[in-house]
């Protein structure tokens, strides 16, 4: 197969607070996965490989999740409903990871279940999906399906409507303002299997009080949820659980550009 070419982003300066030049620590689940899932045999080899691929990802889009190595903070397994998700995937149910970036959480699922053909990753950046194969060295073995597109496209995953059992949103919903989040919710409702038990779960920046905020790094108007506002977003007909959790991070404290030392995330799950 020809080597993929990547479209560089117009603004990739590293003189920003959300670029951490070196990788000091690997979260334990991430280290375990790289050492057992890839051909890399030592922690130093893993770190050098990650740094090289991270540089390519930064040229594609200088997101904080790339600059601060947050793509190494696998998050899906921290969800309180992760054991149930593993069982459902082993039983053949379909999972969509929307805004999957390098597909890191899909690799975690594939690693933990030993199955990947019923996994779908979607992202607006085609290059991230390609780089994921390079990062995890699994182009020949991973059977997950990857789709390039925006959730706001009218024909986004049109052939999958009404067929997806489980949708995961890792640090995705909070990227958008409330009006756009309402559009996302209606698109997700169309994609889900129309039966009780279909589930959307995810994580986002923790907030005790929900409300709009401006993300300097992206220049975007976003909206952070509290337990109250996430319930309001989904409305009637959905059972909503939301809770704060601590997590192990690959981001250095000193490079923590939001001044947030709590390392907390809100994990939520919504069931039809």
Ligand X SMILES: C[S@@+](CC[C@H](N)C(=O)[O-])C[C@H]1O[C@@H](n2cnc3c(N)ncnc32)[C@H](O)[C@@H]1O
Q: Which residues bind ligand X (CB under 6 A)?
A: 63, 65, 70-71, 75, 99-101, 122-125, 128, 150-152, 170-172, 175
Q: How far is CA 168 from CA 70, 104, 124, 192, in A?
A: 17, 12, 15, 12
CB of 247 to ligand X, least distance (A): 11
**Residue 48 phi, psi dihedral angles, 5° rounding:** -65, -40
Residue with structure tokens 């929307």? Answer: 98
* 67/170 with CB nearer ligand X: 170
* 75/94 with CB nearer ligand X: 75
* 201/234 with CB nearer ligand X: 201
CB of 236 to ligand X, least distance (A): 26
* 45/82 with CB nearer ligand X: 82
CB of 41 to ligand X, least distance (A): 26
* 89/106 with CB nearer ligand X: 106
State how far the Cα of 222 lies from the Cα of 205, in Å rounded to an integer: 11
CB of 152 to ligand X, least distance (A): 5
* 64/198 with CB nearer ligand X: 64
- Which contacts qualify for 85-88: CB closer than 8 Å, 24 or more apart? 85/109, 85/166, 85/201, 86/112, 86/113, 88/165, 88/166
CA torsion, ordered 59, 203, 239, 113, to nearest 10 deg = 90
DSSP, residue by residue, 197-236: T-EEEEEEE--SS-EEEEETTTTEEEEE--HHHHHHHH-T
* 42/262 with CB nearer ligand X: 262
Other Cβ atoms closer than 10 A to 121: 27
Q: Which residues pair with 242 in a beta bridge?
A: 268
Q: How far is CA 61 from CA 6, 21, 67, 129, 257, in A?
A: 11, 16, 9, 13, 18
CB of 196 to ligand X, least distance (A): 26
* 23/45 with CB nearer ligand X: 23
Asked if 203 and 266 touch (Cβ cutoff 8 Å), the reply is: yes
CB of 166 to ligand X, least distance (A): 15
CB of 104 to ligand X, least distance (A): 7
CB of 184 to ligand X, least distance (A): 8
Q: Which residue is nearest to ligand X (CB)?
A: 170
Count Cα atoms within 13 angstroms, Cβ side, for 117: 2
């Amino acid at each position: 197969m020809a080597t993929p070419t990547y479209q560089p982003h117009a603004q990739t300066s590293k003189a920003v607070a959300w670029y951490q030049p070196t990788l000091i620590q690997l979260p334990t689940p991430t280290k375990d996965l790289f050492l057992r899932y890839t051909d890399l045999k030592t922690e130093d080899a893993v770190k050098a490989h990650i740094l090289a691929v991270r540089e390519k990802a930064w040229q594609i889009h200088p997101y904080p999740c790339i600059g601060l190595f947050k793509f190494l903070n696998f998050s899906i397994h921290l969800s309180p409903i992760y054991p149930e998700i593993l069982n459902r995937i082993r039983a053949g149910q379909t999972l969509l990871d929307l805004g999957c970036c390098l597909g890191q959480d899909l690799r975690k699922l594939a690693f933990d279940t030993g199955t990947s053909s019923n996994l779908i990753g979607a992202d607006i950046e085609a290059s991230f999906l390609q780089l994921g194969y390079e990062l995890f060295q699994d182009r020949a073995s991973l059977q997950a399906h990857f789709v390039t597109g925006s959730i706001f496209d009218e024909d986004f995953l049109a052939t999958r409507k009404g067929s997806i059992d489980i949708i995961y949103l890792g640090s995705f919903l909070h990227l958008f303002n409330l009006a756009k989040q309402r559009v996302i919710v209606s698109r997700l409702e169309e994609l889900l299997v129309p039966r009780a038990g279909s589930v959307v779960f995810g994580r986002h920046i923790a907030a005790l009080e929900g409300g709009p905020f401006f993300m300097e790094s992206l220049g975007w108007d976003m909206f952070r949820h509290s337990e109250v506002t996430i319930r309001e977003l989904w409305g009637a007909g959905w059972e909503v659980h939301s809770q704060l959790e601590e997590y192990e991070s690959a981001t250095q404290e000193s490079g923590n550009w939001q001044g947030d030392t709590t390392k907390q995330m809100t994990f939520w799950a919504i069931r039809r």
